[in-house]
Amino acid sequence: MGKKSTTGNKNKEKRQARKLEQRRIADGMSFVTSANKLKDLSPLCQDLLVYNNLESMEINMCIQRVTELDKDVLNWAISLTERNMKRLYETCAWGWNKERKVEEMTDDAAWYLIARNNDNILQAFSHFRFDMDFGEPVLYCYEVQIEEGGRRKGLGQRVMQVLERLARATHMRCVRLTALTHNPSAAAFFKACGYSIDETSPAKEYSAHYEILSKYIEPTEDQVPSTDSSNRIELSGS
Ligand SMILES: CC(C)(COP(=O)(O)OP(=O)(O)OC[C@H]1O[C@@H](n2cnc3c(N)ncnc32)[C@H](O)[C@@H]1OP(=O)(O)O)[C@@H](O)C(=O)NCCC(=O)NCCS
C-alpha cells in the first residue's frame, strides 16, 4: 500500500511538472508571437533612442523590421558586418560565407536597430530577433556592429541597453548572443555590459571558437499580468 501510494504520488508530480513545463513553453511562444506582431517597438524604449555623448557624438536610433528597411541601409549593414567580421570568421571553423550571412541578415524574422549621427551618417546597427531558444522566449542579438570611428564612446553599451529594455517589455527571459572566442574586444565589451556564459553554451571541446553569452532579464512587478485575452502585450511595464 505504502509503496503503491508513493509511486502514485510520484506519477502525479511528474504529470504536474510536465504540464507546468508545457504551460511555460506555450506562454513563451505566445510572448514571442506577440512581440513579433508589434507594429512599432520604439514606444517601448523611446527615452533610450537618443544618445548624447557630450564629448563626441549625438545619435538618433530607430527600429525597423528588415522588410521595411531601406535597401541602402541594409547594404551598409551587410558591408559593415563584412568589414568588421570577415577576418574573424575566416580564422575559425565557420569560415566567411557572404551568401549565408546575407541570407541570415535578410530573414523575415530580423529586426534592426539603426543608429545615425546628427549628420544622418550611419554609425551602428544591431540585428535581433524575438525567438524561442531552448524552450525559452529570448531576444537573440545576431549582430551588434559599430563603425570604427564611433567606438569606445558608449554607443555599443546603449545599443545593448535598448535590446534589454525591449526584452523586458516583451517578456523575453534574456538577451542571448553567440560570440567568437577569438574576438577579445567583443568579450571585454559584453563582460562590461554584464553578459556571462549562458547555460546553453556548448562545452569547449565541441566548440572552441564560439560561446553563448546572455543576460537574464528580471521582469518588473508592474508587468504582471503579462497578456490579455487577445494575446496583446501590455506596454505599461515598458
Ligand atoms: C564590440 C563593439 C560592439 C563595442 O562597441 P563600443 O561602442 O565600442 O563599446 P562601448 O564604448 O559601449 O564600450 C563599453 C565598455 O565595453 C568595454 N570595451 C568596449 N570595447 C572594448 C575594447 N576594444 N577593449 C576592451 N574593452 C572594451 C569597455 O569596458 C567599455 O567601457 P570604457 O570605454 O568606459 O572602458 C564594437 O567594438 C564593434 O562594433 N566591434 C566590431 C564588431 C564586433 O566585434 N561586434 C561584436 C560581435 S557581433
Asked whether 155 lines ligand 1 (CB < 6 A), one says yes
User: What's the pLDDT tens digit per position in 73-87?
Assistant: 999 999 999 999 999
CA–CA dist 170, 178 (Å, integer): 21
Q: Quick one: pLDDT band at residue 206, thresholds 50, 70, 90?
A: confident
CA–CA dist 56, 59 (Å, integer): 10
Residue 141 in domain:
yes
Residue 228 in domain:
no
Distance of CA 161 to the CA centre of its chain: 11
In the predicted structure, residue 232 carries a pLDDT above the cut 60 = no
Residue having the nearest C-alpha atom to atom 22 of ligand 1: 185
Asked whether 186 lines ligand 1 (CB < 6 A), one says yes
Residue 238 in domain:
no
Query: What CATH number is attached to the domain comprising 96?
Result: 3.40.630.30
Residue having the nearest C-alpha atom to atom 23 of ligand 1: 185
Give distance in angstroms: CA of 149 to centre of ligand 1: 12
In the predicted structure, residue 237 carries a pLDDT above the cut 50 = no
Give distance in angstroms: CA of 84 to centre of ligand 1: 12
Asked whether 152 lines ligand 1 (CB < 6 A), one says yes
Asked whether 87 lines ligand 1 (CB < 6 A), one says no
CA–CA dist 43, 147 (Å, integer): 26
CA–CA dist 142, 106 (Å, integer): 12
Nearest to 126 by CA among 156, 164, 150, 94: 156
**Which ligand 1 atom lies nearest to the CA of residue 160?**
12
What are the residues facing 128 on neighbouring strands?
111, 141
pLDDT of residue 208: 84
Q: Mean of the pLDDT values across residues 112-133?
A: 97
Residue 173 in domain:
yes
Residue 232 in domain:
no
Residue 236 in domain:
no
User: What's the pLDDT tens digit per position in 146-174?
Assistant: 999 999 999 999 999 999 999 999 999 99
Asked whether 194 lines ligand 1 (CB < 6 A), one says no
Q: Which residues of 21-58 are buried (b: 16+ CB within 10 A; e: fewer)?
A: eeeeeeebebbbebbeebeebeebbeebbebeeeeebe
pLDDT of residue 4: 61
| Residues 190 and 177: beta-carbon distance below 8 Å | yes
Range of the domain at 176: 2-223
Give distance in angstroms: CA of 128 to centre of ligand 1: 18
Residue having the nearest C-alpha atom to atom 37 of ligand 1: 151
Asked whether 172 lines ligand 1 (CB < 6 A), one says no
In the predicted structure, residue 228 carries a pLDDT above the cut 50 = no
| Cell numbers found for residue 135 | 524552450
Give distance in angstroms: CA of 9 to centre of ligand 1: 53
Nearest to 125 by CA among 97, 183, 84: 84
Interaxial angle between packed helices 184-192 and 155-169, expressed in degrees from 0 to 180 and rounded to the nearest 10: 50
Asked whether 189 lines ligand 1 (CB < 6 A), one says yes
Asked whether 29 lines ligand 1 (CB < 6 A), one says no
Residue 230 in domain:
no
Number of structural domains in the chain: 1
Q: Quick one: pLDDT band at residue 57, thresholds 50, 70, 90?
A: confident
Q: Quick one: pLDDT band at residue 222, thresholds 50, 70, 90?
A: low
Asked whether 32 lines ligand 1 (CB < 6 A), one says no
Residue 213 in domain:
yes
Nearest to 162 by CA among 58, 39, 76, 44: 44
